[in-house]
Amino acid sequence: LILLAVLPQFHCQMSFIGGAYMAFSPCPNYTLHVTHETDRPPQVENYWEGGFSLSQWPNIPEVKINMTLDAPARVVVDPQKARVNVRGKSFLITAFEHPPNIKGVFFTVYGVPGGKVPNIESIYLNGENVCPNPTPLNINIKGFSGDQESDDFGGSHVSRVDKTFGCGKRKIGHQGLITHGAETRPGDFPWHVAIYHQEGQRRTYKCGGTIINTHTILTAGHCVFEGQSLITAERIVVQVGKYHLDVADDTAREFRVFVVIPHPRYDTAIFTNDIALLRLTREMVYTDHIQPICLWPADKTNIGDIENRLATAVGWGDTENNTSSSVLRYAEIPIVPTLKCLDSDRDFFGLFLTDSNFCAGYTNGTNVCSGDSGGSLTFEDENKVWRIRGIVSLGARYIGKQICNPKHYVIFTDVAKYLPWIERVSSRKDDGRK
């Protein structure tokens, strides 16, 4: 599924586009065009998209837009075209190109859910006031009912999980899982994503991944490497809200990747620290089919506490017929004690097991398999909140074949051992590569 965005032309009058979008200009010279989609859910309705036209300045050598807002906000731009620096309630947008190479600068302003709409106090272009006496935005926010939590809009940090929307919660009714694996239903695991590698016009499904906030995907380190080489961000495509692997679902959305961040101590030879993050070029909007997972509690990281408990793995990996599944499947598998795992195949597990991964699965043929790599191993707690504990990392193959051995335990990266790294890297203050 490829989403095409049509950039709006710059108009001065109030208008409705397709009955769903409101468009107007708050500046008297019509340099700024604002659009807003009406009737969005309360948690995502406080936003507007801006397009700043540069047609009046065709020869300026640089583009620096300093915009001051009157309410807490977060401003998002395409990181391939511009950057944003925050100073209090002012946002400095610096474009990477200038006219005539670009016609305008586009950005999105997110206000506090249920709070005041961020209005423009002033806009300066390269030090010149280009929006004197701006008109307040006529956007009606209905807001939440009940308790609310606000995000941190004061700076550039973004939480590792989106507290505004909550995490680990299904939005679609569910009747329970069937032990030993089956097909899921759309919306059962809204945090699971498909990761593709692009080579020219050819796109190949590579791995699963997990949404942890509006702009970050958690996956395995080996999913972002080809041999010893890190795959460039431009070659990775992420689809969220997906159920059918090879069919364009109406619920799916596609994203490009801004930066690929493997763990700095990932070892391509023995798969230690097999964990990576993908930062997307734009933020996703949560829906019934697109939701973040909760991370594991930082004070409960002892692997012994979950040994012999059943956890849930999901993916489009190979089935018992050695063919890829066309729909998302799950399996409930137990966490295997380390000694039991070692005793099952000391040559294999003695080489790959460390204090930062663990063993899980059955030896009866019910297991994760080829194509499940990078996906999550999760637990549902007593409050029906799902939390990620593992990432599918490594399994044994049949001798002389390129397919997994489903009668062999599987190694999972222990996400709980990497919580500080995930917290730091999933914020916008750090590119994670140091």
78 flagged as catalytic: no
Residue 78 lies in a domain: yes
Same domain, 404 and 315: yes
Query: Where among 69, 101, 131 does a domain terminate?
Result: 131
| CATH number, domain with residue 103 | 2.60.40.290
Domains of the chain: total: 3
Given the residues 274, 318, 372, 414, the one annotated as active site = 274
344 flagged as catalytic: no
Per-residue model confidence as pLDDT tens for the chain (434 residues): 222 233 233 333 332 233 345 777 899 888 898 887 766 666 667 888 899 999 899 999 999 999 999 988 888 888 778 888 888 889 999 999 999 999 999 998 988 877 888 999 999 999 999 999 998 887 766 553 333 333 333 333 334 444 444 799 988 764 443 334 567 888 899 999 999 998 888 888 999 999 999 999 999 999 999 988 999 999 999 999 998 888 888 899 999 999 999 999 999 988 999 999 999 988 898 999 999 999 999 999 999 999 999 999 998 865 555 555 678 888 889 999 999 999 998 988 898 999 999 999 888 766 566 557 899 999 999 888 999 999 999 876 544 444 566 678 899 999 999 999 998 898 754 444 44
Given the residues 53, 325, 373, 393, the one annotated as active site = 373
- Report pLDDT for 161: 47
Same domain, 349 and 288: no
Residue 65 lies in a domain: yes
Given the residues 222, 263, 289, 408, the one annotated as active site = 222
- Report pLDDT for 331: 85
Per the structure, the complete domain to which residue 366 belongs is given by 304-415
For the question of whether the overall pTM of this predicted structure is more than 0.75, the answer is: no
Residue 142 lies in a domain: no
Residue 3 lies in a domain: no
Same domain, 244 and 316: no
Same domain, 287 and 315: no
Same domain, 238 and 329: no
Same domain, 279 and 328: no
Same domain, 243 and 263: yes
Residue 172 lies in a domain: no
Same domain, 322 and 278: no
Same domain, 405 and 346: yes
Same domain, 283 and 209: yes
Query: Where among 131, 147, 174 does a domain terminate?
Result: 131
HEC string of the chain?
CCCCCCCCCCCCCCEEECCCEEEECCCCCCCEEEEEECCCCHHHCCEEEEEEECCCCCCCCCCEEEEEECCCEEEEECCCCEEEEEECCEEEEEECCCCCCCCEEEEEEEECCCCCCCCEEEEEECCEECCCCCCCCCCCCCCCCCCCCCCCCCCCCCCCCCCCCCCCCCCCCCCCCCCCCEECCCCCCCCEEEEEEEECCEEEEEEEEEEEECCEEEECHHHHEECCEECCHHHEEEEECCCECCCCCCCCEEEEEEEEEECCCCCCCCCCCCCEEEEECCCCCCECCECCCEECCCCCCCHHHCCCCEEEEEECCECCCCCECCECEEEEEEEECHHHHHHHCHHHHHHHCCCCEEEECCCCCCCCCCCCCCCEEEEECCCCCEEEEEEEEECCECCCCCCECCCCCEEEEEHHHHHHHHHHHCCCCCCCCC
Residue 153 lies in a domain: no
192 flagged as catalytic: no
Same domain, 280 and 309: no
| CATH number, domain with residue 230 | 2.40.10.10
- Report pLDDT for 164: 41
